[in-house]
Amino acid sequence: MSVLTVDKVAPGWELVRDAFLQGFTNNEEHGAQVAVYHKGQCVVDLVGGWRDRDHTIPYSEDALQLVFSTTKGIASIAVAMCVERGLLDYSEKVSAYWPEFAAGGKQNVTVAQLLSHRAGLYSVEGDITLEEALHWDTITSRLAEMSPLLPIDSTHGYHAITFGWLAGELVRRVTGLSVGEFVQQHIAGPLNAEFFIGLPEQHDSRVARLMAHPIPKFPPDVAKLMFERSGPGTKGERALSLNGSFGNGVFNKSEVHRAQVPGANGIGNARSIARIYAATIGDVDGVRLLNDHTRELATTRNTPDGEMDAVLISPTVFGMGFMLHSSESWYTSESAFGHNGAGGSVAFADPSLHLGFCYAMNTMMTVADGDPRRQRLTEAAGRCAASF
């Protein structure tokens, strides 16, 4: 019996199938999806594996997957669309659109600084419950009122979960729509794609449950570095858990799926997310989300060469919300932009190769370097695209 429940690969793209199947051969996967768009056409759509550890429930074509920070890329597309429509300006102060944000010495923070993780708001101050974090007005009010945790624009520090509320509130202020509503009405809807920030309850049974791959035993020096990045009391731990409110297992909870957490809880499928990215660089069935000028603005690098991320303790590279091609986010070329997600997921576009790509999975890996599944699939897609 084949592990694949969906096996659609255009001629010349077989390397992607090989890379996808390798994840199952290596026992790195339970269930996963990968999709590739090339020049506006879907050339790879692969789904396979199982939704459970015992391999009794197939990971089927209708499976939806939570993709963690891969969501940030879709939120960044929403912001860029508002820029293109003249509703937002990357160089303008955030407080021009969100007056309450000026509190705590943040009156001069620009939209560009906010989106490139330079506003020092990588977590909130004080204790916060999950219930409070899932209430939009509560969390955005706390972010607006607080002082930065790092000097503004002194460096960048990954806003692991807070990014989504900050970007999403900008969208809400200038459109009157929540970011989830904006995505449905102006991104997913026109493209006939399934991607949700705030999942309708009727779809919850389709969401593949997240599970963890066994954590390997790392060499002492690597384990020490990982502890320094995200161990108890570190900036990384505060950012990634929002002061502990997002603990282990919470992203499998239906109340988290239904809330809007645009930095971490987007739910969709690979074919839809790849389709969305393809529409940022070209026409997809008559729909284009961004023109070239806006895309170039949105992917302008806003982190200096070699600047260490003060939260992740690594040299991450950001544009206006998008991760850019670098040693920490290895895509298919220097022109690519997108976002990685915790545990392995990734989505990006590469205008130089006319490529839209997404990989999503239910098995989260803890690795010291890049996820091997993500790296194999990205490399395979790039090699195939370069041959056309």
For residue 171 the two structure tokens come to 């969208």
Residue 195 has pLDDT above 90, yes or no: yes
Residue 212 has pLDDT above 90, yes or no: no
Per-residue pLDDT of 244-254, as tens digits, reads 999 888 999 99
Taking the C-alpha atoms of residue 37 and residue 114, their distance in angstroms, rounded to an integer, is: 30
Burial class (CB in 10 A: 0-12, 13-18, 19+), 225: middle
Strand partners, 340: 346
Strands 211-212 vs 363-364: parallel, antiparallel or unpaired: parallel
Burial class (CB in 10 A: 0-12, 13-18, 19+), 291: exposed
Per-residue pLDDT of 367-383, as tens digits, reads 756 789 999 999 999 99
Would you state the pLDDT for residue 87?
98
Taking the C-alpha atoms of residue 87 and residue 144, their distance in angstroms, rounded to an integer, is: 20
Q: Tell me which of 102-106, 177-181, 328-332, 367-371 is least confident.
A: 367-371
Per-residue pLDDT of 93-104, as tens digits, reads 999 999 999 999
Burial class (CB in 10 A: 0-12, 13-18, 19+), 247: exposed
Taking the C-alpha atoms of residue 306 and residue 264, their distance in angstroms, rounded to an integer, is: 26
Would you state the pLDDT for residue 7?
97
Which H/E stretch holds residue 7? Answer: strand 4-9
Query: Into which CATH architecture does domain 4-386 fall?
Result: 3-Layer(aba) Sandwich (3.40)
Mean pLDDT over 341-350 rounds to 96
What is the pTM (predicted TM-score) of this model? Answer: 0.96
Taking the C-alpha atoms of residue 127 and residue 7, their distance in angstroms, rounded to an integer, is: 47
Q: Domain extents for the chain?
A: 4-386
CA neighbours within 13 Å on the CB side: how many for 146?
Answer: 21
Q: What is the 3-state secondary structure (H, E, C) of 93-111?
A: EHHHCCHHHHHHHCCCCEH
Taking the C-alpha atoms of residue 17 and residue 315, their distance in angstroms, rounded to an integer, is: 31
The whole-chain average pLDDT of the chain stands at 94
- Single out the residue of 332, 252, 338, 344 nearest to residue 33, CA to CA: 344
Burial class (CB in 10 A: 0-12, 13-18, 19+), 366: middle
How confident is residue 224, by pLDDT bands cut at 50, 70 and 90? low
Mean pLDDT over 284-311 rounds to 95
Would you state the pLDDT for residue 218?
58
Distances (CA, A) of 206 to 111, 197, 200, 226, 363: 36, 15, 11, 34, 16
Residue 1 has pLDDT above 70, yes or no: no
**Ordered alpha helix ranges (H), the chain:** 14-25, 70-84, 111-115, 130-133, 136-145, 162-175, 179-182, 189-191, 220-230, 235-241, 254-258, 270-278, 292-298, 372-386
At 365, is the secondary structure helix, strand, or coil?
coil
Do 110 and 90 meet the contact criterion of CB atoms below 8 Å apart? yes
Would you state the pLDDT for residue 366?
75
How confident is residue 232, by pLDDT bands cut at 50, 70 and 90? confident
